[in-house]
A and B are shown apart, each in its own frame.
Chain A
Amino acid sequence: MKLGNLIIAGVVTGSIYATFAVCVAVWYRVSNILNLAVGDFAMVGALCVDSLYRVRGLPLWAAIITTLLIVSVFAWLYDIIVLRLAVDGRGRAEGIVLTFFFTFALSFFIDGVAKMAFGSDVHAAPALWNGASIAVADLHVARAGILVLACALLIGGLFWVYIRFTLGGKALEASGENALGARIVGIDTRRYRRWIFVGTAVIAAVFGIVESPITGYTYLSGATISLTGFLAAAYGGFRKPGRALLAGLFIGVLEALLGGYVSAEYGTTVMYAILAALVLAWPRGLGFESAVSG
């Protein structure tokens, strides 16, 4: 039953990676910008709720709503101030690398602010669903894990339906593929970019709140989550949210299995080595080349 439990744990972690990968992939589809700051919004979500609830004594629901408001207002401001200047302004930042560095600076900034506001200790938002982990035979699932999984499925499903079956979703794809062509049919590419940016930030924050009871966050946790989500998105070819989701789940399960069977100490190291080998052996199959040219 060790295998079963490891897989369950892996799926739970994997669904976190998967969600962040989906956020990265969807926003990349809209804006052609890789967002390295998604994980930082998750960290802010968890730590901010914790601070408001535990330190300031707000009721939990008020803490959560305030946190989500703060995150969305901040993301919105960032978009209309920085991204607008960077992407739409006169000295347009061109190329994937340069725009990537803007989100990278954003990640630094958020982490720094979080350190100022919440200190550098490990905290977590209070568990939303209390109680011991649920056991079926010898399999154990943490309640928070179930919530995480449910959220991941819900978000992944919503995005899929939206892109696949609505005109808005197609417009979203169109604005990333050809901004000029999108504007012609009246698609407001900036607004799509803004809403998806704010939306992914809020989704990330919700995830942070739901997930933090499992692992606990510090102000630096965001970067790690982002990185793994980013990698999962990369293995999904960046433009394909569905594949990003699968890649996230795969990485989570791989990590859990390696940690359980190979070595707790070197498990992640081996995992990264395997991931690197995969990229080198099969770049085209993983969609890296099309992502670069497209």
Chain B
Amino acid sequence: MDGLSRSDRGTRERRRGKTSRESVPEAERAPGVGARGEAERAVGERGLLSGHAGSTAGERGLLSGHAGSTALRVASLSVAYGNVTAVHDASFTVADGAACAITGPNGNGKSSILMGITGMVRRKGTVEVFGAAAPNGDVRWMARHGLTLVPERRQLYPDLSAWDNVILGCYTWTRSIATARNSAPFGRAIELFPELKPHLRQVAGTLSGGQQQMVAIARGLAANPKILAVDEPCLGLAEAVAQRVYEALAGIHADGTTLIIVEEAPKRALTLCSQRVEVRNGVTA
């Protein structure tokens, strides 16, 4: 709980500084964050018991000031690998500013849904991001339209430094290293995990699992996403590190970024997410 309030404070400080990239006035948002901090704590406690924390969802939608607008709409999405259909006819929508958990046992197609949405694999069905229909199999389009994936097993560039890994997130919107270095998203990404600072020059392959996950999330954030899709962020991490990762995700969410989190164990995801998409045997429930 301590951690949560710390991250919220950090978020507020950052917003007061330079990184606010949305037009929502400071005055409107700042109190909201505090209130949301409370709400989150409430969800955190309730989430453990009930699983669905429906009541806070509306509250959050109002607070983020985008109630009603849809960030992501997925309709009859199917993904197949050869003859094996991993996802069958999945449909759901995620509201702007919401946090959505995609849960279900391993091997039931959760990751495949994300892969299909982002275009990493070919899909059937439609995917719309803020109302724009996404072309099939075009990851770059997705990245440019604000949906960034933090993939399962992180997929870093092991021989590049952590700093290089993070700045490559900026490749989605710029080709100039100078622009990237001085940009707000990059600054925000680098500041996201202060404990990563001493390791930024280190080659990513030699970082610990937790540090690598942090680099992956920071890279995702450097892409300046409106929607951040995180696939199994805590796989193989110790409990305390997983908590730290979730703190950071909560901070990103508090900044107004829509979150989609794929988790096998819904418990932790539902401390943060108000919406839950359950996947069983490739079918959404």
Listed in ascending order, the chain A residues whose CB lies under 8 Å from chain B are 165-168, 170-171, 173-174, 177-178, 180-188, 239, 294
CB of A229, distance to nearest CB on chain B (Å): 23
A-B contact pairs, 28 of them (CB 8 A): A166-B175, A166-B177, A167-B171, A167-B176, A170-B160, A170-B167, A170-B168, A170-B177, A173-B157, A173-B159, A173-B164, A174-B157, A180-B151, A181-B156, A182-B157, A183-B140, A184-B118, A184-B139, A184-B149, A185-B169, A185-B171, A185-B223, A186-B140, A186-B144, A186-B172, A188-B140, A239-B159, A294-B158
> Is there a chain A Cβ closer than 8 Å to B188's Cβ?
no
Knowing A167-B175, A170-B168, the reply to whether A178 touches B157 (Cβ < 8 A) is yes
Closest to A290 in B: B159
Judging by beta carbons under 8 Å apart, are B177 and A167 in contact? Answer: yes
CB of A204, distance to nearest CB on chain B (Å): 26
Closest to B142 in A: A186
Judging by beta carbons under 8 Å apart, are A168 and B151 in contact? Answer: no
Listed in ascending order, the chain B residues whose CB lies under 8 Å from chain A are 118, 120, 139-140, 143-144, 148-149, 151, 154-160, 164, 167-172, 174-177, 180, 219, 223
Complex Cα gap A170–B139 (Å): 19
Judging by beta carbons under 8 Å apart, are B155 and A181 in contact? Answer: yes
Closest to A168 in B: B175
Knowing A184-B149, A185-B143, the reply to whether A167 touches B160 (Cβ < 8 A) is no
CB of A30, distance to nearest CB on chain B (Å): 12
Complex Cα gap A60–B215 (Å): 53
Closest to B178 in A: A167
Contacts of B120 in A (CB 8 A): 180, 183-184
Contacts of B149 in A (CB 8 A): 184
Judging by beta carbons under 8 Å apart, are A180 and B155 in contact? Answer: yes
Closest to B174 in A: A167
Judging by beta carbons under 8 Å apart, are A184 and B159 in contact? Answer: no
Contacts of A171 in B (CB 8 A): 168, 171
Complex Cα gap A178–B177 (Å): 20
Contacts of B140 in A (CB 8 A): 183, 186, 188
Q: Which of A166, A177, A180, A184 touches B148 (beta carbons < 8 Å)?
A: A184
Judging by beta carbons under 8 Å apart, are B158 and A177 in contact? Answer: yes
Contacts of B157 in A (CB 8 A): 173-174, 177-178, 181-182
Complex Cα gap A182–B151 (Å): 11
Contacts of A181 in B (CB 8 A): 151, 154-157
CB of B212, distance to nearest CB on chain A (Å): 11
Contacts of B159 in A (CB 8 A): 173, 177, 239, 294
Q: Which of A166, A178, A186, A294 touches B156 (beta carbons < 8 Å)?
A: A178
Complex Cα gap A183–B175 (Å): 15
Closest to A169 in B: B177
| Residue picked from A165, A181, A183, most chain B C-beta under 10 Å | A181
Contacts of A166 in B (CB 8 A): 175, 177
Complex Cα gap A87–B171 (Å): 24
Judging by beta carbons under 8 Å apart, are A174 and B155 in contact? Answer: no
